[in-house]
Amino acid sequence: MDGIVKMEKRSRSELIQEAMCTYLEEKKRQKFRETMIRGYREMGEINLELAEEGIILENEGLRLVRARLAECE
């Protein structure tokens, strides 16, 4: 550490403070990433259910439109 202190021309306290800030920022980013991954996984199941419901409703709507068009012929 003394070599780094001389090379950087900074005090030990400054280097330790910077290292701690860097460490804490990285931990914060890692926690955020993990939270986002978990959220996307949880929402993935919900989004799939909504998409399946949407397809069912869309197919029903298409069936009704076709039925109405058939009546017009």
Gap between the Cα atoms of 72 and 50, Å rounded: 33
Confidence at residue 51, expressed as pLDDT on a 0 to 100 scale: 94
Q: With a cut of 80, say whether residue 67 has pLDDT above it.
A: yes
Residues whose CB falls within 8 Å of the CB of residue 12, separated by 6 or more in sequence, listed in order: 1, 5
Q: Note the pLDDT tens digit of each residue in 14-64.
A: 889 999 999 999 999 999 999 999 999 989 989 999 999 999 999 999 999
Using CA atoms, how far residue 51 sits from 8, 13, 61, 63, in Å, is 57, 55, 15, 18
pLDDT value for 73: 76
Residue 6 has pLDDT above 80, yes or no: no
What are the domain boundaries of the chain?
Answer: 2-72
Residue 11 is predicted with a pLDDT of 83
pLDDT given at position 33? 97
Amino acid of residue 28:
K
